[in-house]
Amino acid sequence: MPSTRGKKQDGDKVSHKIEKIVHDWEQDGTIGTSRPKSKKKAVKQAVAIALKQTGKSKYQKKGTHH
C-alpha cells in the first residue's frame, strides 16, 4: 500500500481553496468580479471555482481521474 504521508489528498486541496476563497469574500465581499449576497451563495461559487482550479468535477466519482 502506498504511503500518503507528507502528501495532501485532492479533497484537502479543494477544501483549502474553498476556505481561502470564502475568507477572501468575507473580507472584501467579492469572489472574482461577482458579489454574492449571502454566504451560502458565496460557498457554492467557491466550490465551483476550487473544483475548476484543481481540475476536478462535481460529478466525478472517488478514485477516478477523468
- Would you say 53 and 32 are in contact if contact means Cβ atoms under 8 Å apart? no
Per-domain residue ranges for the chain?
10-54
Q: Given this model, what pLDDT does residue 11 score?
A: 72
pLDDT tens track for 12-36: 888 999 999 999 999 999 998 999 9
- Rg (alpha carbons) of the chain, rounded to whole number: 14
> Is 43 a residue whose pLDDT tops 80?
yes
**pTM listed for this prediction:** 0.71
Band (37; pLDDT cuts 50, 70, 90): very high
Contact 45, 31 (CB under 8 A): yes
Cell of 1: 500500500
Is the pLDDT assigned to residue 6 strictly greater than 60? no
